[in-house]
Amino acid sequence: MRAHDFGEYEYEPVPGLPEKLPAGERILWQGAPDFATLAQRVFHVRKLAFYFAVLLVWRSGSAFADGESVRVAALSGAWVVALAAVSLGMFIAVSWLIARTTLYTITNRRIVTRFGVALPMTFNLPFTMIGSAALRRYANGTGDIPVALNGKDRIAYPVLWPHARPWRLTNPQPMLRAVPNANDVARILADALGGHADAHPALTLAQGSPIGPIARVRVPAQLVTT
């Protein structure tokens, strides 16, 4: 699956990459986040919808309990409906934009994340800077794949967001977020990391489980960003 690129990405010599691949490097997988999962996991639209539903019932119920007619009680909750529509619509639209402008790439040498709605950016994460990778899979088959970095080099959490493991503010971890067929993508990455480190990392996958390790390699740290 590939993101449907906006006009600002037409200059890319290879979709998702700032330049052509050097000799010996090949693409193993490319994909974009699932926007519905982004909306649910990043912006929590289901929880927000539930909150507005409770607020609507409480507001209308209070008016009816105070002796208002059913029509008046219903109208008293109209502002809640309007606020819910605007809020949910905004978060869903932002999720769609993020998914449409993001493209993750795994090669046999690195992970590349191209993202940015207003300010396009590309991060290259060579395997030499990745200390470990992990997976959290969701019931719909999508999942998050964060990677822990070696060394002292860090990428600021606000720059990475939402492509970062939540709440790791002091030690940010880049993350392939809401990727479809997460099991397959995790195995591709685990095999690539293991092959690069001349090792065969174990792969542990469990639906709905906390983030668990899929690969661990010990290599020198290096950070390259564009």
Question: Stretch 72-94: mean pLDDT, rounded?
Answer: 85
**Together in a domain, 217 and 157:** yes
Q: CA dihedral in degrees (9, 11, 14, 17; nearest 10)?
A: -60
Q: Is residue 191 located within the same domain as residue 208?
A: yes
CA 170 → CA 23, 152, 154, 157, distances in Å?
36, 12, 9, 8
What value does the CA radius of gyration of the chain take, rounded to a whole number of Å?
21
Res. 186: pLDDT tops 70: yes
Instruction: Say if residue 13's pLDDT is above 80.
Output: no
> What is the 8-class DSSP label of residue 209?
P
Strand (E) or helix (H) holding 52? helix 45-65
Is 1 part of a structural domain of the chain?
no
Task: For residues 61 and 74, give the distance between their C-alpha atoms in angstroms, rounded to a whole number.
Answer: 9
Instruction: Looking at the structure, tell me whether residues 64 and 151 fall in a common domain.
Output: no
Give the up-direction half-sphere exposure of residue 11: CA atoms within 13 A in the CB hemisphere.
5
Residues 138 and 215 in one domain: yes
Are residues 51 and 129 both part of a single domain? no
pLDDT at 175 over 80: yes
Does a structural domain hold residue 199?
Answer: yes
Share of the chain above pLDDT 90, in %: 37
Q: Average of pLDDT values for 89-110?
A: 93
Residue 1's pLDDT band, with cuts at 50, 70 and 90, is very low
- The predicted pLDDT at position 132 comes to 84
Query: Is 60 exceeded by the pLDDT of residue 9?
Result: no
Higher pLDDT, 106 or 131: 106
What per-residue confidence (pLDDT) applies to 221? 34
CA angle centred on 109, ends 108 and 112, rounded to 5°? 100
Q: How confident is the model at residue 11 (pLDDT cuts 50, 70, 90)?
A: low
| Residues 4, 31 contacting (CB under 8 angstroms) | no
The answer to whether the peptide bond before residue 174 is cis (omega within 30 degrees of 0) is no
Neighbouring CB atoms inside 10 A of 216's CB total: 18
Let me know whether 107 and 207 are in one domain: yes
- State how far the Cα of 158 lies from the Cα of 48, in Å rounded to an integer: 23
| Global pTM value | 0.77
Task: Give me the domain span that covers residue 109.
Answer: 7-18+28-33+102-225
**87 three-class SS:** helix
Give me the number of domains the chain comprises: 2
Residue 181 included in any domain: yes
Residues 122, 219 within the same domain: yes
